[in-house]
Structure 1
Amino acid sequence: MSLLVRVAALLLAVFLPVAAFAESVVIRIGFAEVGVGGRQFGTQGGASVAHARTLLEKEFAGEDVTVQWVFFRGAGPAVNEAIAAGQLDLALQGDLPAIVGRANGLKTKLLMGSGVRNNIYLAVRPDAPITGIDDLKGRKVAQFRGTNLQLAADRVLAAHHLTERDIRFLSMDFEAAVAALRSGDIDATFGQADLFALQDQGLAKVVYSTRGDDPTFTRHSHVLVTEAFETAHPELVQRVVTTFVKAADWASDENNRKELFEIWALSGRPVAGFEHDYEGQTLAYRQSPLIDPFLIESYASKIQQAKDYRLLRGNASVEGWFEPKYLNTALKQLGLERRWTPLDAAGKPVATN
């Protein structure tokens, strides 16, 4: 065999394996929310910051990797439908929808928190004789059922010796609930921080908040990945998680509070609402990506709660669901192992050395 032929054969052996892996990849990421009027921006955790600041696009610049972001007005249930149809690879989603998806057989792994310990609020019509949770019995109340708001609200009701049967609940998304409250079609609504905008306009009164109440009343969101995508592209999953952790670090810095709220306001929700929502709380408390005992226990207890309310058709468990290796690698690579304080199952800070 001539030298030229041997060199050609060697080059072929070297480059063919590389070419075999040089595939074009699209990373499809779903958000279980959408901004006011369909704005394509979210308001939860490092993932929302990464999207608004195009951090993943910068991470994969120059590579044959495309990032697609999809926002769902139907929130968590719509994300589940998209996952079941094979239309998403990763998603930012709340606790209850993910639990329902797991019980229905969706194969996913929970990678990190992204928007945890979120408060819920109860807003009422200005003329309604409702001063708190105890006054809701028999009232028409809006709730975005099937989202992570539902179980959090149910826990608050239970603490006041009420159940869903005691309330005349109407299932509405956030925008519809605000419109119904303004028109007087409902007496009250459970919702999030944008309810403060109605209060500031004199169109509603916020009469209850989980802020300062039992931390187990809060709701959580996370980043998940389908098992199929993780199996096919673990290296891409790692880079996505690392990018999201970088964003969570930035979003946890008090020096960035004003800019963070302005980024979230791209969703059409006012900055004032976020200022109300975070009053008296540090950014790091809410922007923690950690898979700590509090987060795991919260999901475990909500699985049981969902079973008690007969919201699940099948079985679900936290066993084998959380996959912390990508988060742990990112924390170590970025030197952020001590950036956030983990909480125990009861929501108390865990002492670290």
Structure 2
Amino acid sequence: MNATVLTRLRRWAAPLSALALMTTAALTAHAAPDTIRIGVATAGGGDPVTWGGSPGGVARVNNWLEDEFKASGVKVEWLFFKGAGPAVNEALSNKQIDFAYQGDLPAIVGRSNGLKTKLLVVSGARNNLYLVTPPKSDIRSIKDLKDRNVSIFRGTNGHIVAINVLAANGLAERDVKGVNLDTGSAQAALVSNGVDAAFGGYEWFKVRDQGLAKVVYSTRGQDPSYTRQAALLVRSDFEQANPAEVQRVVDVFVRAAHWSSDEKNRDELFRIWARSGTPVASWVAEFDQQQLALRNSPLADDFIVGRYKAVVADALKLKLIRREVTVDDWFDTRYLKTALKKQGLENYWTAYDAKGNPKGGAAASVAAR
């Protein structure tokens, strides 16, 4: 081979080698993660551990995410946090999880503290709040809580609702002797008369049905602004690096939302959620006279966005956060819209206005944000 030919080969080889290196680097940069980690803001229960009240619990029990990623060799890990939303925020901050299922207030607190996340899909809307007391208590209403020891799980999505319920009845948080207890601790304290009353969710029906508590107040059927919202979030840097995987996760959550919204699945849905340790009877009570599609819709409609904005305003007023945070640019509905289109569900759920009423009385697709 003469010198001229060698020179030409070297000239061709150099850019080809560079291109090969660039291609390899690109493939490495966009390679699927080995593991997808999802943090859930509850201790959960059962074996394997799961939770109820969210379509996400259906995906968990049925291994839909695991099946989705099985062929890709991607492992799915579920992590449950007894410390609820605040503990999930710590895990997000430390990059110990990639996705998070949590309520509105803790998510807002995390955003206020600098956590870079995106809200992807609603997964458990309009959750009720209850006030419970020991069976023989003389407390009959919210107004009777003045100067009483009351359990309020601070930093959770029930915290601000409890404060607003107090305010609607002429009481401020300082008018009660608030005790910050997680769900399990609150139940133990109430049963042993360590507190006079407790705010909480569906988990109290089990205690009530055991004859150890009575429900004296419920937000069900009242102003929807007294309800609590929960959603699936993703770390912004994980989303930017793994958009295909994020889409697949959202696809599964939308599939679960669709299944969980179908009234013919009501009994089976409650049986699935009961695997978390909360009995079927509790879910029957929680969802009494409420449509599944209303509670399990994944839409980030005007009602949901409005509730997050209201929680921001309340959190500022109560000094639970130190600075204003934006909401409109937080919801990233691109993945949701794609999932709805792929599954033919663009008009399946009704969109609601800021006051919680159907928009025009008709179903509507997710608006671009």
Kindly state the Cα deviation for residue 42 of structure 1 after the two structures are TM-superposed: 1.3
Deviation string for 1:170-205 (max 9, x for gaps)?
011111111111111111111111212222222111
Mapped partners of 2:148, 2:74: distance in 1: 51
**Which position in structure 1 is the counterpart of 2:191?**
182
Mapped partners of 1:23, 1:242: distance in 2: 17
| Amino acid corresponding to residue 106 of structure 1 in structure 2 | L
Mapped partners of 1:24, 1:105: distance in 2: 24
Mapped partners of 1:252, 1:166: distance in 2: 40
Question: Could you tell me the percent identity over the aligned residues?
Answer: 50
| Amino acid corresponding to residue 253 of structure 1 in structure 2 | D
Q: Which stretches in structure 2 are left out of the alignment for 5+ residues? A: 6-11, 364-369
**Which position in structure 2 is the counterpart of 1:218?**
227
Kindly state the Cα deviation for residue 88 of structure 1 after the two structures are TM-superposed: 1.1
What's the secondary structure of 2:37's corresponding residue?
A: strand
Is the 1:242–1:330 contact (alpha carbons within 8 Å) kept by the matching residues of 2? yes
**Which position in structure 2 is the counterpart of 1:248?**
257
Deviation string for 1:51-97 (max 9, x for gaps)?
11110111112213111111000000000000111111111010000
**Which position in structure 2 is the counterpart of 1:325?**
334
Correspondent of 2:113 among 75, 79, 104: 104
Is the 2:305–2:328 contact (alpha carbons within 8 Å) kept by the matching residues of 1? no
State the superposition RMSD in angstroms: 2.1
| Amino acid corresponding to residue 93 of structure 1 in structure 2 | Q
Higher alpha-carbon deviation: 40-49 or 137-146: 40-49
Correspondent of 2:136 among 127, 136, 142: 127
Higher alpha-carbon deviation: 28-37 or 129-138: 28-37
Given the two structures, how large is their TM-score scaled by the length of structure 2? 0.89
Is the 1:34–1:267 contact (alpha carbons within 8 Å) kept by the matching residues of 2? no
1:259 maps to 2:268: yes
Higher alpha-carbon deviation: 190-199 or 91-100: 190-199
**Which position in structure 2 is the counterpart of 1:304?**
313
Which structure's CA Rg is the greater one? 2
Higher alpha-carbon deviation: 171-180 or 18-27: 18-27
Q: Which stretches in structure 1 are left out of the alignment for 5+ residues? A: none
What's the secondary structure of 1:284's corresponding residue?
A: helix
Given the two structures, how large is their TM-score scaled by the length of structure 1? 0.93
Correspondent of 1:66 among 72, 75, 98: 75
* Change beyond 3 A, Cα 1:23–1:308: closer
Aligned residues: 346
**Which position in structure 1 is the counterpart of 2:243?**
234
Correspondent of 1:47 among 41, 49, 56: 56
Mapped partners of 2:320, 2:203: distance in 1: 27
Kindly state the Cα deviation for residue 26 of structure 1 after the two structures are TM-superposed: 1.4
| Amino acid corresponding to residue 273 of structure 1 in structure 2 | S
Kindly state the Cα deviation for residue 308 of structure 1 after the two structures are TM-superposed: 0.4
Alignment of 1:70-85 (within 5 A): 70-85=79-94
What's the secondary structure of 2:290's corresponding residue?
A: coil
**Which position in structure 2 is the counterpart of 1:31?**
40
Kindly state the Cα deviation for residue 44 of structure 1 after the two structures are TM-superposed: 3.2
What's the secondary structure of 1:151's corresponding residue?
A: helix
1:169 maps to 2:145: no
Deviation string for 1:108-147 (max 9, x for gaps)?
0001100110001111111211111111111111111110
Deviation string for 1:4-27 (max 9, x for gaps)?
xx9xx99x969x659645555311
* Change beyond 3 A, Cα 1:236–1:39: closer
* Change beyond 3 A, Cα 1:235–1:155: same
Is the 2:45–2:275 contact (alpha carbons within 8 Å) kept by the matching residues of 1? no
Is the 2:239–2:246 contact (alpha carbons within 8 Å) kept by the matching residues of 1? yes
* Change beyond 3 A, Cα 1:24–1:186: closer
What's the secondary structure of 1:60's corresponding residue?
A: helix
